[in-house]
Amino acid sequence: MLDRITKKLGDQSIIDKLSEELSGSDFNTLLLEIFQRRAKHTQPKQVLDLFNNSRFFAPSTVDPIRYKELEIEWLKHASQVGFQPQIYSPATPLGTCSTIAHVHQNNVISAGRNSEIVSDITNVMALQTAARIKAGSNVDYLKMAATHRLMRTQALPSPAHTAHFGLICLTTGGLDTGSYKFELNQLEEHFRYHSSMLSRYAGNNKVETRISLSEKNLRDPLNQLITGLPDFNVKLLEKPLSGDYYYPLRFQTYLLTEDAEINLADGGVVDWTQKLLSNKKQRFFISACGLELVYKLLISSSSDTT
């Protein structure tokens, strides 16, 4: 496809020239001019057609008042357990996801002015955490919470999964204190939060958290942790944690119905603040719950039947 475009433009090296030879400000100036010219020649009918036919622009189907109430309830509980609620911009610097989280830039909507539309708010929360640490934050742990509407380009088969959607995320940043204390303490805090909140809406369904490890030395202390939490349904999986996203542990919280197992929340340790601050001692724990999916599966469906 790129070969076809470069041949049409009559310059096989134009991609290299634009991406490598132009400075950031010059490239941004060029994009702004291109966007301005294309918009100038766009007719109102074309805009309406795009709005009607693209999944990126369709409004959400959830009740906005009830959904906002759900967001407030989850944020209030996050605040009660020590996470500071935040409101973030719908845009973030270009490369926020691809540079620290290995997400392909094609799965993100890139924009002008060196920005992109937020596709994962935990990446943005990592930026804020790193900025505060660099500015000399005097707290041991930086704990934040945010609800946000994300935009992603992947097309998924389930009608419940839309191009833009709402979720809630928690993050904790701090220094390694040895013996996996940070990892284990934050694991308990994060999955306890998501499990307890999901249980409020589960009805007769079961909520179960499954934990995967990539470090054998964590297995015994984690079993001790699970034993001390009899009110939560937690399983330690035998299969080692794989991939390069979470390390050394990950949790996934499921809603178990008669017909399905639905993963609604997950989280774990990532190395993003290590990269941002060039400091191997930094630790960062993230977690998220698909709040709009919770609404569609557990709240909207139940209200329709009453």
Model pLDDT, residue 20: 85
Instruction: State the Cα–Cα distance between residues 130 and 137, nearest whole angstrom.
Output: 10
Predicted confidence at residue 305, as pLDDT, reads 37
pLDDT tier at 157 (50, 70, 90 boundaries)? low
CATH architecture of the region 64-304: 2-Layer Sandwich (3.30)
Collapsing DSSP to helix, strand or coil, 61 comes out as coil
Query: Mean per-residue pLDDT for 45-66?
Result: 92
pLDDT at 84 over 80: yes
Supply the pLDDT for residue 302.
Answer: 55
pLDDT of 3: 83
Separation in Å, CA 153 to CA 15, 106, 159: 23, 8, 15
Whether 250 has a pLDDT exceeding 90, the answer reads: yes
Radius of gyration of the chain (CA): 22
Between these two residues, 261 and 7, which has the higher pLDDT value?
Answer: 261
Q: What is the pTM of this model?
A: 0.90
The domain spans of the chain are: 2-41, 64-304
Look at residue 304 and tell me whether its pLDDT is greater than 50.
no
Q: What is the pLDDT of residue 249?
A: 96
pLDDT at 154 over 60: yes
Residue 301 has pLDDT above 70, yes or no: no
**Do 144 and 83 meet the contact criterion of CB atoms below 8 Å apart?**
yes
Decide the pairing of beta strands 84-85 and 141-151.
parallel
| pLDDT over 50 at 38, yes or no | yes
Residue pair 268/255 in contact (Cβ under 8 Å)? The answer is no
- Per the prediction, the chain carries an average pLDDT of 90
Taking 90 as the threshold, does the pLDDT of residue 127 lie above it?
A: yes
Cβ atoms of residues 97 and 123 within 8 Å: yes
| Distance separating alpha carbons of residues 233 and 209, to the nearest angstrom | 6
Residue for token pair 């930094």 = 282
Q: Per the structure block, which two tokens stand in for 243?
A: 């991939």
Which residues have a Cβ under 8 Å from the Cβ of 176 and sit 6 or more positions away?
Answer: 182, 281, 282, 283
Query: Which of these, 189, 175, 169, 168, lies nearest to 141 by C-alpha position?
Result: 175
Q: List the single range of 15-19, 53-57, 115-119 with lowest mean pLDDT.
A: 15-19
**What is the structure's pLDDT at 156?**
66
The secondary structure of the chain in percent helix, strand, coil, rounded to multiples of 5, reads 45, 25, 35
pLDDT of 303 higher than 60: no
